[in-house]
Chain A
Amino acid sequence: MFPLQLNDQIIQSLSKNELKILQYVYGHSSETCEMSIHEFSRVISYSPATVLRFCRKLGFSGFAEFKYALRTNASKQPDQESVDSASEKLPTSISMERQVMISAMFNNISGTSHLISQDLLERTFAFFDSDCPIYIFSPAGITEIPCDYFEKLLFSIGRQNVYRTASARMCEHLLYSVNRKALLILVSTSGNFGPTERLARVASTNNIPILAITPYSSNSIASLADINYRFFTDQRENSGAEFTSRLPIFYIICAIINCYLDYKQKGDSHDSDL
């Protein structure tokens, strides 16, 4: 489980080098806990001063406090016994690989869920509660599916005026011609997909707020967005065919919808109490 309560402001404040440190810690939290600042800086090839700056940006007084937070969370790690027992009859290599795969999947989801803050949700719900049009750009390929998912779930919770479009030019036209408050939802697995980035710039120029779902790394779409949901995933491709897991994106959308349903139910019960 990734222990650090990172919000978008913190991620935006990190330099490229500091993001690399974060990436290392994300994949090696238990090793990091065992190292001194000097050992750690040797391993990651950055100076202790850079490490200290990184820790301070994350809200810790120093490396020791940072390690303490990592260690505290390590004790809350999910029990792997059931995974182990399910795989114990298998050859060690494949059993280990499966275990690593399940752990990585859970770590990505756990890290992603810790980036969903109350502030993000409240700002999102303000748009859901209004009747402004919501545009979703749905680029062809695997990312089209989470966009479709978001659209269908918005309809299922009763939100009207949701318009999904697969054409970047059509979406650009809509953004130029919209003459009232609107929201643009952009989903990008890399955070730098050309057509999506272009739409983010068009929306930004036209003062149309953007809700973006992008990776935790520094990326141009997130830098233009007003509401930033971030996720952890490992970029992967098969000879040019990209197949990065979208599970964390589905998870974010699912969490937004579940929290919104709860928020509405609480609002309704509050109204009936009055």
Chain B
Amino acid sequence: MIPIFEQAHSLFLTPTESEILDWFENHFPQCLYMNLEEMSDQLYTSSATIVRFCQKLGFKGFNEFKYQLRQQLKEQKNSALFSDNIIEHSLALFRDNLEQLDLDALQEVANLLSSDRTIYICGSNLSSLIASYLHTVLSSLDYSCILIEWQRLLGSLIGQMSRDSVLLIVSAHGDTQYYQSIMETAFERGIKTILLTCERDSPLVSLSSFAFFSNDHNQELANVDTNPRIGLFAIAQILIELVTLKKRHIFSTSHPTEEASIFPNEKD
């Protein structure tokens, strides 16, 4: 119930005032858009009586009463939709995700992505969009890389990639079925592999050189994956920002040796 109405019920009201209260409750929220004259016509009572009713509730007049009523309606609607504070909750999750990341390890990966090595970025289904985003932005930053969205193609390529290639896989589910043999081949051949996933228990983690986990929740609706992967997008964005920072340092410094001390080369 709207708090103003609750408050009114707790007061001693004359029979006319009780009728006014009933009318407001029965004509809510339409009454919010009526003026005093229209209301007095409908209630068969004088404007002065309605104003006195508003003053009894602690308002200066009818307009203040209507304003408060609107505010309370707005708050109630807000709480109805955001009862679980979805937006605030997702913002808190977003912040938690940023805070749990190992920035040193991400910097090492950013160094790999901006090195002279051949970079392969892979992802399928919705994860392919994260791979595609990383690929497109890195290309805009002059770091050429190869995007692979077809798992069979990746399977045939893995045996031919040069040993100093870097393979970055985005897989929300840590999809063992598709990536296990690929990661095993990469591991045997000494290819650096980076895994971005939501699943800490994925068997792929032990096969990867670097693994980063987002706090996205793998969920399904009618057997369709509805995990929006915003945490994985955030990790991809951090990698982009670290690459950008490195690039800015390279351009801004006039002493390349100093740059090397700020951004140490990848550990082999």
- Decide if the interface of chain B is mainly helix, strand, loop or mixed: helix
A109 and B94 within 8 A (CB):
yes
Interface size class on chain B is 35 or more
Interfacial chain A residues near B77, Cβ < 8 Å = 118
CB distance from B92 to the nearest CB of A (A): 9
**Residues of B86-110 contacting chain A, CB below 8 A:** 86-87, 90-91, 94-95, 98-104, 107
A153 and B245 within 8 A (CB):
no
**Residues of A87-139 contacting chain B, CB below 8 A:** 87, 89-91, 93-94, 97-98, 101-102, 105-106, 109-110, 113, 116, 118, 121-122
Interfacial chain A residues near B240, Cβ < 8 Å = 243, 245
**Residues of B230-266 contacting chain A, CB below 8 A:** 230, 233-234, 237-238, 240-242, 244-245, 247, 261-263
Among B19-27, B45-53, B131-139, B207-215, the stretch in contact with A: B131-139
Interfacial chain A residues near B226, Cβ < 8 Å = 153, 156-157, 257, 261
Contact A257/B137 with A97-B245, A106-B95, A245-B237 known, Cβ cut-off 8 Å: no
Contact A106/B221 with A113-B91, A254-B230 known, Cβ cut-off 8 Å: no
Contact A156/B225 with A121-B81, A241-B140 known, Cβ cut-off 8 Å: yes
Bound-state CA distance A128–B91 (Å) is: 24
**Residues of A216-271 contacting chain B, CB below 8 A:** 236, 238, 241-243, 245-247, 250-251, 253-255, 257-259, 261-263, 266
Interfacial chain A residues near B99, Cβ < 8 Å = 78-79, 82-83
| Number of A residues with CB within 8 Å of any CB on chain B | 55
A193 at interface by CB-CB < 8 Å: no
Contact of B241 among A105, A121, A254, A257 (CB under 8 A): A105
B84 at interface by CB-CB < 8 Å: yes
A251 and B230 within 8 A (CB):
yes
